[in-house]
Copies of this chain bind each other. A is one copy, B any other.
Amino acid sequence: MHDDTQTLAHARIGILGLGLMGGSLALALRGRVAYLLGIERQVVARQMALRQGIVDEALEELTAGAPPLDLLVLATPLRVILDTLGRLPVLRPGGCAVVDLGSTKRAVVAAMSALPEAFAAVGGHPMCGKETAGLAAADGDLYRGQTFVLCRVPRPAPQAAAESLALALVAAIGARPLWLDAADHDRLVAAVSHLPAVVAAALMRGATDERQWTVSASGFRDAARLAGSDPRMMLDILLTNREAVLAALRDYQTDLAGFAAALEREDAAALAEWLAAAQVAHAAYRRYKSGEHLM
């Protein structure tokens, strides 16, 4: 921990994207790093960040002429992360360490592995967020106690520069690092994050009548909540995690079809078993999550 604090205290960090995630990261790093540069296209956010001392300096764009950085954090939408990684050799000719905050990892890690040797990279995915987007919603405690996934980038040389800076950053913001293989990560979040968002959207699409809303309560509210996700963000996620999402979706559709067939033929025993398996899994999941803070 002492090493992490020292590592970071001398670091010059650039955050590309001062939205909810980038802005919260800046707030959490304030006072713990040598220099914080914010790169943000929207002038209102840029000005707010400067006015509130969230960053030391703010630019509209990352260019080769921007100040030197030890670590660049990519906190933009996924498609911009991938685009930035492609242009990074031109934007940072001297190289630097790079980490991202994107919701899917395989595509990002693949793009990172194509970077020239002057770069050291590690994939990142903090498992937290809020429904409200934008810098105004930023919260320095957003990451506290949350899991922050890190994915090694397969490269000839070790990526220690990026990995140690990323670990120091994760510690500084109060999050807990979890090393995962990028493809594993994408399969896991397909099941517990991406498929649930698709399923919630489909539920909402089937319930657009006020008469239905009148008789709805907290059950529908929670089941449909993810339908409010930003469509553009979801599109990026789906297109960069397409295979894992399709695999999870196919299994889901098959299971639902089995349920529908059992209901069609009024097979109470099969239905009872199907429902019981869900409830038993849910109870185990709740026990696991309630003990998580002890792990």
List A residues at the B interface (Cβ < 8 Å): 127-129, 146-147, 149, 178, 180, 184-185, 188-189, 191-193, 195-217, 219-232, 234-235, 238-239, 242, 245-246, 248-253, 255-257, 259-260, 263-264, 266, 268, 271-272, 274-279, 281-286, 288-289
Contact = CB atoms under 8 A, between A and B. Distances in A.
Copies assembled: 2
Contacts of A213: 192, 285, 288-289
A220 B230 CA distance: 17
Given A212-B188, A231-B276, A239-B266, A206 B251 contact: yes
Which of A209, A213, A284 has most B Cβ within 10 Å? A213
A188 B127 CA distance: 35
20 contacts: A127-B216, A188-B214, A188-B215, A191-B206, A192-B219, A196-B203, A199-B203, A201-B275, A202-B278, A203-B252, A204-B281, A206-B251, A207-B281, A222-B223, A227-B281, A230-B279, A231-B272, A231-B276, A235-B268, A242-B266
A196 B219 contact: yes
A101 to B, nearest CB: 14
Contact of A215 (B189, B282, B284): B189
A225 to B, nearest CB: 5
Contacts of A272: 231-232, 235
Contacts of A211: 184, 188
A248 B234 CA distance: 25
Which of A127, A219, A279, A284 has most B Cβ within 10 Å? A219
A88 B248 CA distance: 49
Given A210-B288, A275-B201, A283-B228, A268 B239 contact: yes
A230 B248 CA distance: 25
A257 B232 CA distance: 21
Nearest to A200: B223
A230 B276 CA distance: 8
A205 B253 CA distance: 12
A44 B188 CA distance: 44
Given A188-B209, A201-B279, 20 more contacts: A185-B215, A189-B215, A191-B206, A191-B207, A191-B209, A198-B259, A201-B274, A201-B278, A204-B282, A205-B277, A207-B281, A213-B289, A219-B226, A221-B289, A223-B225, A224-B282, A228-B282, A231-B278, A239-B268, A246-B264
Contacts of A202: 199, 252, 255-256, 259, 278
Contact of A220 (B193, B231, B249): B193
Which of A192, A251, A286 has most B Cβ within 10 Å? A192
Given A199-B203, A217-B127, A239-B268, A229 B192 contact: no
